[in-house]
Chains A and B, each alone.
Chain A
Amino acid sequence: MIFAGLAEKLQETFRRLKSKGRLTEADVDEAMKEVRRALLAADVNFQVVKSFVARVKERAVGQDVLSSLTPAQQVIKIVREELAGLMGGTQSKLNMAPKPPTVVMMVGLHGAGKTTTAAKLANLMRKQGRRPLLVACDVYRPAAIKQLQVLGEQLDIPVFSMGDRHTPVDIARAAVEHATRQGRDLVIIDTAGRLEINEEMMAELEELKAALRPHEILLVVDAMTGQVAVNIAETFNKRLGLDGVVLTKLDGDTRGGAALSIKAVTGCPIKFVGVGEKLDALEPFHPDRMADRILGMGDVLTLIEKAQASFDAEQVARLNKKIRSADFTLDDFLEQLQEVKKLGPIQQIISMLPGLGNMKKLKELGDIDDRELVYVEAIIRSMTPWERAHPHEINGSRRRRIARGSGTSVQKVNSVLKQFEQTRKMMRQLAEMGRGGKKGARLPRNLFPGKDNPLF
Chain B
Amino acid sequence: MGFFNRLKESLSKTRQGLVEKIENLITGRQVIDESLYEELEEALIGADVGVETSLELMETLRRRVKEQKLRDPARLKPLLQELITDELGTGDSSLNRGGPPTVILVVGVNGVGKTTTIGKLAYYYKTRGERVLLGAADTFRAAAIDQLEIWGRRVGVDVIKHREGSDPAAVAYDALQAARARKMDMLIIDTAGRLHTKSNLMEELKKIRRVLGRELSGAPHEVLLVLDATTGQNAISQARLFSEATGVTGIVLTKLDGTARGGVIIGIRRMLNIPVKFIGIGEGVEDLQPFNPQEFAAALFD
Contacts and interface: CB of A to CB of B under 8 A. Distances in A.
B48 interface: yes
Contacts of B52: 2
B177 interface: no
Nearest to B244: A363
Interface residues of B, number: 46
Contacts, number: 140
B232 A43 contact: yes
B232 A225 contact: yes
Name the residue among B51, B142, B147, B196 with the largest chain A CB count within 10 angstroms.
B142
A46 B54 CA distance: 12
Nearest to B147: A143
Interface in A139-185: 141-144, 146-151, 154
Interface string A49-79: 0100000000000000000000000000000
B8 interface: no
A255 B258 contact: no
Given A142-B150, A146-B146, A150-B143, A228 B261 contact: yes
Interface stretch (B39-47, B84-92, B212-220, B294-302): B39-47
A19 interface: no
B96 interface: no
A317 interface: no
A335 B109 CA distance: 37
For the residues of B in contact with A, the DSSP-based class is: loop
Contacts of B45: 40, 46, 227
B260 A231 contact: yes
B197 interface: yes
Interface residues of A, number: 54
Contacts of B112: 111
B151 A195 contact: no
B231 A224 contact: yes
A50 B35 CA distance: 13
A358 to B, nearest CB: 11
Nearest to A364: B199
Interface string B223-266: 00000101111110100000010000000000101111100100
Given A111-B111, A113-B110, A142-B147, A227 B232 contact: yes
Interface of A: 2, 37, 40-43, 45-47, 50, 109-113, 141-144, 146-151, 154, 195-198, 222, 224-229, 231-232, 249, 251-255, 257-258, 277, 347, 351, 363, 366-367, 369
13 contacts: A109-B230, A142-B146, A150-B164, A222-B230, A226-B231, A228-B230, A228-B259, A232-B230, A252-B237, A253-B237, A255-B233, A277-B140, A366-B197
